[in-house]
Structure 1
């Protein structure tokens, strides 16, 4: 079961459902934020993009307290796979499942475009289908994608191969060009680009589907 969370303001859950259910033939459930538990047969939790609670207060800060997140935290701490995309990445940092924070883009503008990326590490379930240093292109669409952490955290991320994805040309000011990171145990991955928007060649490419498929093989 692929469990896709839905908050007030989430807008990418149907795209993710289409990718996993229609293209990858997986059993999928959309989980409302007020639910208190994940399905017992969950093998992957996806926190999709959008603007949970309108991004009021701080992106992801309110969603972090939704009832379902307590079980997501439990699931992650027990080794379950969790993928957070864009607003999902922000929710993961607010929930302390990933280190650091996502700040306002350095130019203070919303960015929406195709973005060149570099696969930084492949010794993980999320990007194992790619080659290290491979260049891929995925869409980005965010106002708060500027990754920040203190120097000790950044050093730890590099030492433990937790920086999984970087920008080829940094669009938002993220330190170390970070576009996506994982936790030390490598079962929680947050990234700003949208793989679910790059799943069919008809609409510009399927490089994102490769990432999503690797999590259900």
Structure 2
């Protein structure tokens, strides 16, 4: 069996587009594979659970029981990709836990491939959080998300040296459009016949990037 990917989308900062990326990735995996399990670890709305309630479960890392429940679900090589929308409030506690229990090594032993998608920002909190992940996560499993809506210019040098996945900024009116709880990226691709629209091309470009990412994960785990 190929490795089961576990995508952890994270940032120690709020309002960097983390849930948007989790939505995009979850919808892509659902379209491509027919199934995906998403976990929402957030305190504030809007959350992934509100956008994709049929495939999303809530989780927490506040107490030992919650942590173990989540880890038990993530460590299984069942062929179903997992997506975690990790709220900024849980960033430190989550990665402290994964370091203490040796999650990365145990996942590899069980045929599970964690991929950390770190949403970049130029603030001090992000500058401290990224090196912590570098110490814990193998280089090929740590990917910097360059959300152009957040980082308006060059990435910090330390983050730019690793693997980078760019997310181009959308005009404000389109950003408002996709922020609606009823909006579906895959639904838009299916229903919008004009493939030349900016939003159509934006979704397809991101889906293509996720397809390439998934392929690399599968090759690493084989």
Same topology, TM > 0.5: no
Which structure's CA Rg is the greater one?
2
TM-score by length of 2: 0.42
Higher relative contact order (CA 8 A, sep 6+): 2
More helix, by proportion: 2
